[in-house]
A and B are shown apart, each in its own frame.
Chain A
Amino acid sequence: MKVLVAVKRVIDYNVKVRVKADNSDVDLANVKMALNPFCEIAIEEAVRLKEAGVADEVVVVSIGSKSCEEQIRTALALGADRGIRVDTEDAPDSLSVAKLLAKVVEKEAPGMVILGKQAIDSDNNQTGQMLAALLDRPQGTFASKVAVDGDKVQVTREIDGGLQTVELQMPAIVTTDLRLNEPRYASLPNIMKAKRKPLDLLTPDELGVAVSSNLTLLSVEPPAERQAGIKVSSVDELVEKLRNEAKVI
């Protein structure tokens, strides 16, 4: 079975983003970029499926400008076999990304597609579900466990209040949640090896997808700042304040 993993280049997890002074967008100039954390988990899961003999090839795809090849190389260093970049402006909307991915899936015919459940920039949590809809295939979102059994896969999902397990007919789409696995670090030899792994380039034209959007970003503002309050010196004072000043207990 072939596994396709879709990954996104995003602002590094540890960087606090700032809004531009003219409120047009966030400021990403000279900001450290990285692989979206949920996408790292997706790669790790695919590589583990290969190591377990369930998958025989892991293909990683990313959509964006040349800069996202850096993240594809990272995925290759983590164990993916080859990469595909679909060349677009930097941030197509989720629907466009899903349409492009659907065409790549048709071309590659994987048994499973694994994606992160959300990207930490747009926080949309949409692409996997949209891809599944466009392909008319089942989805196992927010996965904390993936178990392949023949032509079916059981996915345990993180839902509000607990866990739900569903059984999906493959090909299936899986999106990762935090507890699915703990991604490995790329070793130096693997980083070197990744440089020689194949990385193909596709264009939206070749895939027959017109990238456009009905969404317009009007403005971006920083959130309302919270003022720091006071320090209390004892539990007694805290309880007193909560009872008589804040009146919340």
Chain B
Amino acid sequence: MTILVIAEHDNNELKPVTLNTLSAAQAIGGDIHLLVAGSGCQSVADAAAQIPAVAQVLVADNDAYEHQLAENVSKLVQGLAASYSHILGASTTTAKNVLPRVAALLDVNQLSDVMAIESADTFKRPIYAGNAIATVKSADAIKVMTVRGTAFDPVEGAGGSAEVVNLSDVCDAGTSRFVNEEIAESERPELTAASIVISGGRGMGNGENFELLNKVADKLGAAVGASRAAVDAGFVPNDMQVGQTGKMVAPDLYIAVGISGAIQHLAGMKDSKIIVAINKDEEAPIFQVADYGLVADLFEAVPELEGKL
């Protein structure tokens, strides 16, 4: 049994979530190959070769893969698939874009957002916004799946020396073209990788008030998130959204500020180790999942918290 894992990267750096995905592959068992598809991505391939869990690194370095266009990468993976029992990617917008396409090309289903490996063909995954956990058995010849990073501890990133194989095949569908990208520049850690997350909800009142959270985040080295209500109200951009339709986070500490705790939001953060809720409504459902609840006006409590850190 050999497993293919799709590396998550930006052509310069291998993203840490790849190590979590590799951990899920290890739980399935068998040799693991890591595919680095990109352009000018040698540094990523070098980093990938250092991972002890990886037996072989496949490098597809071509302009066609620079922006991970699904039309091109899916055909590349399709061409490699026959050698593999499983194909895994992280539950990121990149892999969620590409892997269902791969699955359809292979005439198999995909298992999305796998959170536990029961055996080589049986997996647990959340449904209904995490309000139910399904155990699903797949009889497909190749199991294609995306993996929830926060559910698997990362494998070691250094100390190995995997064989590196350069792929020469170029798959360019020619039907899509990258135009541009606007990535929010931030000194803070990424939401899904941060060990502390502080999120604001509708109670924040407006986007400017998120500055209160930013100050706390800077002191704690935390990432800043938001509830869907705050995103819908236009306070902050969509990529900050924690919840069923946003990002799934499971940090050591999650601080929910002015968030009532809709099931949609809880689905995205209830696996956090410690949850703190600050809300002036003591009936807010968020308090039912919080380890520490503070009933207070956030506009007084948050600056005070910042002062005491």
Interface residues of A (CB under 8 A from B): 11, 16-17, 19, 26, 38, 93-95, 98, 118, 120-134, 136-139, 141-142, 144, 154, 157-169, 172, 177-179, 213-223, 226, 228-236, 238-239, 241-242, 246, 248-249
Contacts and interface: CB of A to CB of B under 8 A. Distances in A.
A162 B237 CA distance: 8
B239 A160 contact: yes
Contact of B239 (A120, A162, A233): A162
Given A213-B109, A242-B292, A219 B175 contact: no
B267 to A, nearest CB: 9
Interface stretch (B33-41, B79-87, B100-108): B100-108
Interface residues of B, number: 91
B177 A216 contact: no
Given A141-B70, A162-B184, A178-B238, A17 B305 contact: no
Given A158-B93, A232-B294, A241-B292, A223 B126 contact: yes
A165 B179 CA distance: 5
Contact of A139 (B97, B245, B296): B97
B295 interface: yes
Nearest to A228: B288
B60 to A, nearest CB: 18
B294 A231 contact: yes
Contacts of A123: 112-113, 126-129, 244
B294 A139 contact: no
Contacts of A95: 103-104, 107-109
B249 interface: no
Contact of A138 (B94, B109, B176): B176
Contacts of B287: 228, 231
Contacts of B96: 125, 129, 141
Contacts of A16: 131, 263
Contacts of A126: 100, 103, 110, 112
A94 B140 CA distance: 14
Contacts of A26: 127-128, 132
A139 B294 CA distance: 46
A242 B127 contact: no
Interface in B127-152: 127-140
